[in-house]
Amino acid sequence: MRRSPEVYLGFQQPPSIPTLKESTVIITGAASGMGRLLAIRFIRAGARVYGLDVDQDRLLSVSSELGDRFTGIKCDLTNPEEIESSMASVLADAPAVDILINNAGIASGKYFLELNPADVERTFRVNVLAHFYTVRAVLPSMIESGSGQIVTFASAGGIVAAPRLTAYSSSKFAAVGFDESLRMEMKKHNYPIDTTLIAPFFINTGMFEGVKTRFPFLLPILKPEKVADRAFRAIQRKKRRLIMPWFVYTSFLLKILPVNLFDWIADFFGVSRTMDDFTGPER
């Protein structure tokens, strides 16, 4: 008799999915969106997940949904002291962290002159500065144990910018640079630490409500489940970089063109108008 696939958390688990049993995973921004979807996938594969998020109510909801292999920890990622305390509590419970996923991100969606200093500072604190604190907390033990993986969730907006994304894109460009420098530093010192960069186009999670794309077959607004599936597989396989969709890769070549020509091409493909109808949520 053919055995039916295991059903867990409402998903069918195909036998071909590699397990991550006994692995310890930390995910920031785990209470909703991509963080929650990734937590589901890692738990389904047998991992233990610690989720950091500022939203206590949603953390409790996710904890109830995912069971005892998920531990929610309330943490304001704009606050270095809270990050340090939260990471210390994880390490006290699970000294060996196998995978750290810096997933949390925010966007204000304001034009440059509408931004106030608080908008800019909060964006950078969540989208990139928090990475420094979380990685600093786990990297020494990863190096000592001889294995570990640092996952940086950036964005296609960290490769090509657009109006109303000055703060967001700047922070995501920084996140891309963070991943690249960290990767090269690990190689230079022969540390056995893997790094993975995830850089998707806009995802339909509500964070970028109202964004549009001129050519959906080239630059589609991505479905959260599809991004989560691909990101999960990329992390499992320790892929160095995942950029979605494939068309974003062309931007690396386009950037060698004269600036005016690059801007014209970006305008033609609607990149400069993606945020025109953005409605929020403003954070």
8 DSSP β-pair partners? 11
Report the Cα 78 to chain-centroid distance in Å. 16
CB 40 within 8 A of CB 69: no
- Residue 277 has phi, psi (to 5 degrees) of -105, 15
Report the Cα 130 to chain-centroid distance in Å. 12
Residues with catalytic function? 168
CB 99 within 8 A of CB 142: no
7 DSSP β-pair partners? 12
Closest to 115 measured CA to CA, from 171, 153, 175, 155: 171
Q: How far is CA 134 from CA 66, 88, 140, 173, 184, in A?
A: 23, 10, 11, 19, 19
Is the previous residue joined to 281 through a cis bond, with omega within 30 degrees of 0? Answer: yes
User: What's the helix, strand, coil split of the chain in %, to 5?
Assistant: 45, 15, 35
- Cα separation of 96 and 107, whole Å? 32
Closest to 70 measured CA to CA, from 101, 95, 36, 98: 36
Sheet holding 70-74, edge to edge: 70-74, 48-53, 24-28, 99-102, 149-153, 194-200, 241-244
Q: What is the SS3 string spanning 154-167?
A: CCHHHCCCCCCCHH
